[in-house]
């Protein structure tokens, strides 16, 4: 049973998805409908991202998958194995070695470059959905740039919590035109979205693809008197000591003990290795 | 330009007293549902500060007409001209949709019979009032909130309720909130569809009083559709009576109610129970 | 000031076999500034009807009714409203107001409609209410709960708060006690003195004799053969 077409999907389907991707790149932030296929995994497990990755991968690509920053969770491992089996591409956990990175809800800490493509898994692509359930109406609102409603959501946040409490999937405006859902990445990652790499967004169940070409202007919505803030836990990583990375809180015992560690495992690992190497070098120097 | 000319000619009879310009001009509106007439042959001018009532029984075409005027329905025929701030009288039927939608968020307002059709039930009272401000570019939370508090006060809703959702409000309060939400951008023309329908009589009285005060203070023009003759007597300067999609009588409100000329109006007026 | 010429009025009762009832024909009345004219005639002769026609409340079939030069017959609603706002006041026998509105505001409303400052308008309203002996504690209440006599005085205050140049008074002294009746007489005399043209219906003969200059009988306006 090894006779899959390259990257699982048939060529016609990949062509259809590539057309949607190109259209998305041509109109940054605009949601392009596409004929999402059944994938051998349930909707909600990254079927949108997988289809975009399948249409993007070439045999020479090096593929990396992260789930909330981690390379070693079930979702990340499964998708990585899926493409190893169906496309035979090389995979990596190191951010700078990868050419295509599929991600669920994080942007890697290491800066990406122009030769890389970041593929996001998106559960709900419509940023206006929370307040306007009618698709016909939200499409009209996008086409006419009627985005007052988006600020109503932020207003509600401040009214209820005293600050904009939206911590993830924080809405952004793309090139001064389309309001876009950045997928449920923490708002800490929002400022990174103006970057050299291409960013592609796939929503499988909702059948939408959207995209950001390199260096696209991405602005997080806010109020003059409540400006956007990219926040993170006020700690440094327990393992690598980084104080500039997004942190996960980990409960370590039954007494409520907790530590904060980098959510980006590759970033944390590379820093730990560097620290160990430096320590070893120092040790050698001393013993020499 | 030619369109405007033709309607100008159409209304020569009114041109004698052309001192102030009409704010709203409706010419020969018709809406059909297949063979059935929704409304037909409707013409009138509405001047700044004027309130016009449209009365008739259910199915008389008054709601169809209101929806055609407010841009919710496209009429099959006729013009709906509005005196826009920058271009003067413009036909809103043929106007580009973005402009029409902009108009309905700024210079126009629509008060629905059921408050839940005109409110966002999952958004706080303050957010409901602030939405139109944010839609036209307000981006200062403090100012939006101050404005919302001011408007809640004007419609007699205690400012402590600003963060409550409308679902926690009584029917009368919901209706007052809907009015605040609509008037916050200082519209010049308000469409109202049975604004007091479904409310208790005592609540109705309070709402009517409030509307009358706001109409005078803001110099609003309004078109009110209702089947309640008491409502138009108190709110409307002029009256239009509709039956089977046709306008059967128009005139000064008290004249139409006290000395009705058309058979249907006479029947309508004489059918009202006296208290 | 008020000029009624060759006026005819009929009612068509569509729902009663389309009966056409002519109630007035060839009515002529002239009222000059500073003059008070009382319409007389038996009940049902058309006194109130003629008043309502002048006010634009009833449609007039033919003839001419001019108030301060404005033709009321066939006028645009807008012009009639304008006339009522600026020139033509009307004190009816019935008080029709939005429930819940305080008496002071009810009386001040004609001034507010003319764009007068709220404070000044309320002051004038207060002065008149005091003159007509409406206790101050009632001013903040709606007149809908008042007694007949009190409602009548609120109505009068509302009619006299603005110096209309033409006034229609429908039994202004009915249901008033002697003291208030005297106040109303004074108000009418003051209005005449400043040149207002007044048309009224007075069943109170001594009041009529005191303020009215002429008393035309509307019975003469009944269609011939009917009288």
Residue A260 belongs to what H/E stretch? strand A258-262
- B259 contact residues in C (CB cutoff 8 A): 11, 52, 57-59
pLDDT for the residue A52 = 98
pLDDT for the residue B11 = 44
**Boundaries of every domain in chain C:** 2-87+164-221, 99-155
> pLDDT: is A122 or B211 the higher one?
A122
* Burial of A144 (C-beta count, 10 Å sphere; 0-12/13-18/19+): middle
Q: CB A108: neighbour CB atoms within 10 A?
A: 24
User: What is the tens place of the pLDDT at every residue in C135-147?
Assistant: 999 999 999 888 8
pLDDT for the residue C94 = 80
pLDDT for the residue A209 = 98
Mutation for testing the B interface, residue in A155, A173, A219 having most B CBs under 10 Å: A155
Question: Which residue does chain C place closest to B209, by CA atoms?
Answer: C98
> Mean pLDDT over residues C171-176, rounded?
86
Helix segments in chain A, DSSP class H = 11-26, 47-56, 74-87, 135-143, 148-161, 265-287
Please indicate whether, in this complex, the C-beta atoms of B252 and C113 are within 8 angstroms of each other. no
CB C197 within 8 A of CB C34: yes
Query: Which one of A131, A156, A225 has the shortest CB-CB distance to B140?
Result: A225
What ipTM was reported for this prediction? 0.88
> pLDDT: is B15 or B215 the higher one?
B215
> Mean pLDDT over residues A59-72, rounded?
95
- pLDDT at C178 exceeding the cut of 50: yes
3-class secondary-structure state, position C185: helix
> Mean pLDDT over residues B256-268, rounded?
92
Q: Say yes or no: B155 and B229 in one domain.
A: no
Residues paired with B88 in a beta bridge: B84
Q: Say yes or no: B152 and B46 in one domain.
A: no
Please indicate whether, in this complex, the C-beta atoms of C58 and B258 are within 8 angstroms of each other. yes
The one catalytic residue among A24, A29, A46, A49? A29
- pLDDT at B6 exceeding the cut of 80: no
Q: What is the DSSP string of B61-97?
A: SHHHHHHHHTTSS--SEEEEEEEETTTEEEETTTS-H
Q: Does A226 touch chain B (CB under 8 A)?
A: yes
- pLDDT at A211 exceeding the cut of 80: yes
Q: CB A275: neighbour CB atoms within 10 A?
A: 13
The one catalytic residue among A24, A49, A204, A268? A268
Predicted confidence band of residue A132 (pLDDT cuts 50, 70, 90): confident
Structure tokens at B92: 């809103």
Against chain A, the chains showing at least 3 CB pairs within 8 Å are B
Helix segments in C76-147, DSSP class H = 77-86, 103-113, 118-131
Report how many Cβ contacts below 8 Å link chain B to chain C: 61
Residue with tokens 């634009």: C56
- pLDDT at A20 exceeding the cut of 90: yes
Residue with tokens 């609102």: A141
- pLDDT at C127 exceeding the cut of 60: yes
Q: Does A157 touch chain B (CB under 8 A)?
A: no
Q: Classify domain C2-87+164-221 by CATH architecture.
A: 3-Layer(aba) Sandwich (3.40)
Cα–Cα dist B244/B235, whole Å: 24
User: What is the tens place of the pLDDT at every residue in C90-119?
Assistant: 998 888 777 778 999 999 999 988 888 889
pLDDT for the residue B15 = 42
Question: Which residue does chain B place closest to A225, by CA atoms?
Answer: B140
Q: Say yes or no: B138 and B201 in one domain.
A: no
For this structure, is A268 an active site residue? yes
pLDDT for the residue B274 = 63
Q: Say yes or no: B200 and B265 in one domain.
A: yes
Q: Please count the residues of chain C.
A: 227
Residues paired with A101 in a beta bridge: A64, A118
**Parallel/antiparallel/unpaired status of strands B189-193 and B246-252:** unpaired
pLDDT for the residue B81 = 95
> Mean pLDDT over residues C62-76, rounded?
92
What sign for the dihedral angle of Cα A147, A151, A156, A161?
Answer: positive
- pLDDT at A13 exceeding the cut of 50: yes
Q: What distance in Å separates residue A183's CA from the closest CA in chain B?
A: 23
What sign for the dihedral angle of Cα C83, C84, C86, C87?
Answer: positive
- pLDDT at B10 exceeding the cut of 90: no
pLDDT for the residue B77 = 93
Question: DSSP assignment, residue A111?
Answer: P
Q: Say yes or no: B129 and B219 in one domain.
A: no
> Mean pLDDT over residues B185-194, rounded?
93
pLDDT for the residue B16 = 43
Task: Please report the residues numbered 71 through 130 in chain A whose beta carbons come closer than 8 angstroms to any beta carbon of chain B.
Answer: none
Q: Say yes or no: B266 and B153 in one domain.
A: no
Q: Does B95 touch chain A (CB under 8 A)?
A: no
Q: Say yes or no: B6 and B133 in one domain.
A: no
C193 φ, ψ (degrees, to nearest 5): -60, -35
Please indicate whether, in this complex, the C-beta atoms of B101 and A155 are within 8 angstroms of each other. no
Which of B129, B157, B186 finishes a domain? B186
Q: What distance in Å separates residue B133's CA from the closest CA in chain A?
A: 8
> Mean pLDDT over residues A132-161, rounded?
92
Q: Say yes or no: B223 and B176 in one domain.
A: no
Parent domain of B145: 121-186
Query: Which one of B212, B216, B254 has the shortest CB-CB distance to C57?
Result: B254
Number of domains in chain B: 2
Q: Does A148 touch chain B (CB under 8 A)?
A: yes
Q: Say yes or no: B86 and B204 in one domain.
A: yes
> Mean pLDDT over residues C37-48, rounded?
87
- pLDDT at B247 exceeding the cut of 70: yes
Chains A and C touch (3+ CB pairs under 8 A): no
User: What is the tens place of the pLDDT at every residue in A188-206?
Assistant: 999 999 999 999 999 999 9
Cα–Cα dist C144/C214, whole Å: 35
Please indicate whether, in this complex, the C-beta atoms of B259 and C57 are within 8 angstroms of each other. yes
Which residue, A141, A116, A143, A134, is CA-closest to A214?
A116
Q: Say yes or no: B99 and B198 in one domain.
A: yes
- pLDDT at B236 exceeding the cut of 50: yes
Question: Which residue does chain B place closest to A158, by CA atoms?
Answer: B141
Strand ranges inside chain B, DSSP E: 24-33, 36-46, 51-55, 77-84, 88-91, 108-111, 189-193, 221-226, 238-243, 246-252
> pLDDT: is B262 or B15 the higher one?
B262
Q: Does B237 touch chain C (CB under 8 A)?
A: yes
Mean pLDDT of chain C, nearest integer = 89
> pLDDT: is C190 or B234 the higher one?
C190
Q: Say yes or no: B69 and B131 in one domain.
A: no
- pLDDT at B71 exceeding the cut of 90: yes
Q: What distance in Å separates residue C29's CA from the closest CA in chain B?
A: 22
Share of chain C above pLDDT 90, in %: 55
Which residue, B265, B267, B270, B261, is CA-closest to B242?
B265
For this structure, is A46 an active site residue? no
Cα–Cα dist A281/A184, whole Å: 41
Share of chain B above pLDDT 90, in %: 65
Q: Does A223 touch chain B (CB under 8 A)?
A: yes
Cα–Cα dist A92/A80, whole Å: 9
User: What is the tens place of the pLDDT at every residue in A77-107?
Assistant: 999 999 999 999 999 999 999 999 999 999 9
Which of B186, B210, B240 finishes a domain? B186
Query: Which one of B205, B251, B267 has the shortest CB-CB distance to C77?
Result: B251
Q: What distance in Å separates residue A165's CA from the closest CA in chain B?
A: 14
CB B211 within 8 A of CB B225: no
Chains B and C touch (3+ CB pairs under 8 A): yes
Task: Please report the residues numbered 75 through 104 in chain C whose beta carbons come closer than 8 angstroms to any beta carbon of chain B.
Answer: 76-81, 96, 98-101
pLDDT for the residue B108 = 95
Q: CB B178: neighbour CB atoms within 10 A?
A: 27
Stated pTM of the model: 0.84
- A152 contact residues in B (CB cutoff 8 A): 120, 123, 127, 130-131, 134
User: What is the tens place of the pLDDT at every residue in A221-249?
Assistant: 999 999 999 988 999 999 999 999 999 99
Which of B186, B211, B231 finishes a domain? B186
Q: Does A219 touch chain B (CB under 8 A)?
A: no
Predicted confidence band of residue B19 (pLDDT cuts 50, 70, 90): low
Please indicate whether, in this complex, the C-beta atoms of C101 and B238 are within 8 angstroms of each other. no
Tell me the CATH number at B31. 3.40.50.300
How large is the C-alpha radius of gyration of chain A?
20
Report how many Cβ contacts below 8 Å link chain A to chain B: 55
Mean pLDDT of chain A, nearest integer = 94
User: What is the tens place of the pLDDT at every residue in B217-226?
Assistant: 888 999 999 9
Task: Please report the residues numbered 22 through 81 in chain C whose beta carbons come closer than 8 angstroms to any beta carbon of chain B.
Answer: 52, 56-59, 76-81
Cα–Cα dist A102/A117, whole Å: 8
Q: Say yes or no: B84 and B131 in one domain.
A: no
pLDDT for the residue C101 = 84
């Amino acid at each position: 049973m090894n006779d899959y077409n390259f990257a699982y999907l048939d060529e016609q389907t990949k062509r259809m998805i590539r057309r949607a991707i190109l259209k998305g790149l041509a109109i940054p932030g605009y949601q392009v409908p596409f004929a999402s296929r059944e994938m051998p995994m349930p909707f909600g497990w990254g079927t949108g991202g997988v289809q975009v990755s399948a249409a993007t991968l070439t045999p020479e690509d090096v593929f990396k998958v992260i789930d909330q920053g981690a390379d070693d969770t079930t979702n990340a491992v499964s998708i990585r194995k899926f493409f190893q089996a169906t496309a035979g591409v090389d995979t990596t956990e190191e951010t700078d070695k990868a050419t295509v990175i599929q991600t669920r809800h994080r942007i890697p800490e290491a800066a990406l470059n122009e030769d890389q493509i970041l593929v996001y898994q998106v559960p709900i692509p419509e940023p206006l959905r929370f307040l306007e359930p009618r698709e016909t109406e939200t499409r009209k609102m996008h086409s006419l740039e009627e985005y007052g409603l988006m600020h109503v959501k932020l207003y509600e946040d401040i009214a209820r919590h005293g600050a904009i409490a939206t911590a993830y999937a924080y809405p952004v405006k793309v090139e001064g035109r389309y309001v876009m859902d950045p997928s449920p990445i923490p708002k800490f990652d929002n400022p990174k979205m103006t970057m050299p790499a291409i960013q592609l967004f796939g929503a499988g169940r909702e059948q939408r693809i959207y995209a950001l070409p390199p260096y696209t202007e991405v602005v997080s919505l806010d109020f003059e008197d409540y400006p956007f803030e990219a926040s993170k836990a006020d700690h440094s990583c327990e393992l690598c000591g980084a104080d500039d990375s997004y942190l996960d809180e980990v409960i370590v015992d039954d007494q409520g003990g907790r530590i904060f560690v980098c959510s980006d495992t590759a970033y944390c690992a590379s820093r730990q290795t560097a620290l160990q190497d430096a320590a070893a070098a120092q040790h050698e120097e001393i013993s020499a | 330009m030619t369109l405007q000319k033709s309607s100008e000619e159409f209304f020569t009879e009114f041109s004698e007293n052309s001192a102030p310009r009409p704010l709203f001009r409706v010419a020969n509106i018709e809406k059909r549902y297949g063979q059935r007439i929704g409304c037909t042959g409707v013409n009138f001018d509405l001047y700044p500060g004027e309130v016009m009532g449209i009365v008739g029984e259910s199915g008389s075409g008054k709601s169809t007409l209101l929806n055609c005027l407010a841009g919710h329905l496209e009429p099959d025929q006729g013009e709906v001209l509005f005196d826009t701030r920058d271009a003067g009288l413009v036909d809103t039927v043929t106007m580009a949709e973005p402009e029409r939608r902009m108009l309905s968020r700024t210079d126009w307002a629509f008060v629905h019979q059921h408050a839940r059709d005109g409110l966002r039930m999952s958004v706080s009272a303050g957010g409901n009032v602030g939405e139109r401000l944010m839609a036209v570019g307000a981006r200062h939370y403090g100012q939006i909130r101050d404005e919302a508090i001011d408007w809640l006060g004007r419609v007699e809703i205690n400012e402590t309720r600003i963060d409550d959702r409308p679902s926690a409000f009584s029917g009368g309060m919901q209706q007052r909130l809907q009015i605040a939400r609509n008037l916050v951008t200082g519209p010049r023309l308000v469409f109202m569809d049975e604004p007091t329908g479904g409310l208790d009589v005592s609540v109705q009285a309070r709402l009517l009083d409030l509307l009358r005060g706001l109409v005078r203070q803001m110099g609003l023009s309004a078109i009110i559709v209702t089947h309640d003759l008491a409502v138009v007597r108190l709110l409307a300067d002029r009256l239009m009576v509709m039956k089977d999609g046709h306008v059967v009588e128009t005139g000064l409100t008290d004249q139409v109610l006290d000395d009705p000329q058309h058979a249907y109006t006479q029947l309508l007026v004489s059918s009202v129970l006296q208290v | 000031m008020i000029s009624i010429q060759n006026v005819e009025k009929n009612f068509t009762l569509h729902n009663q076999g389309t009966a056409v009832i002519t109630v007035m024909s060839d009515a002529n009345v002239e009222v000059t500034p500073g003059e008070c004219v009382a319409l007389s005639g038996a009940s049902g002769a058309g006194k109130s009807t003629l008043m309502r026609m002048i006010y634009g409340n009833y449609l007039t079939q033919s003839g001419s009714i001019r108030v301060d030069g404005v033709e009321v017959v066939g006028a645009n609603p807008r012009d009639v409203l304008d006339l009522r706002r600026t020139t033509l006041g009307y004190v009816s026998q019935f008080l029709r107001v939005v429930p819940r509105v305080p008496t002071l505001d009810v009386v001040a409303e004609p001034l507010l409609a003319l764009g007068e400052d709220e404070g000044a308008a309320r002051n004038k309203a207060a002065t008149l209410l005091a003159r007509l002996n409406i206790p101050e504690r009632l001013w903040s209440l709606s007149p809908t709960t008042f007694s007949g006599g009190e409602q009548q005085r609120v109505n009068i205050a509302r009619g006299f708060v603005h110096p209309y140049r033409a006034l229609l008074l429908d039994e202004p002294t009915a249901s008033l006690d002697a003291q208030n009746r005297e106040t109303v007489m004074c108000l009418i005399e003051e209005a005449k003195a400043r040149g207002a043209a007044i048309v009224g219906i007075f069943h109170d003969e001594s009041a009529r004799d005191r303020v009215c200059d002429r008393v035309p009988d509307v019975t003469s306006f009944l269609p011939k053969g009917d009288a």
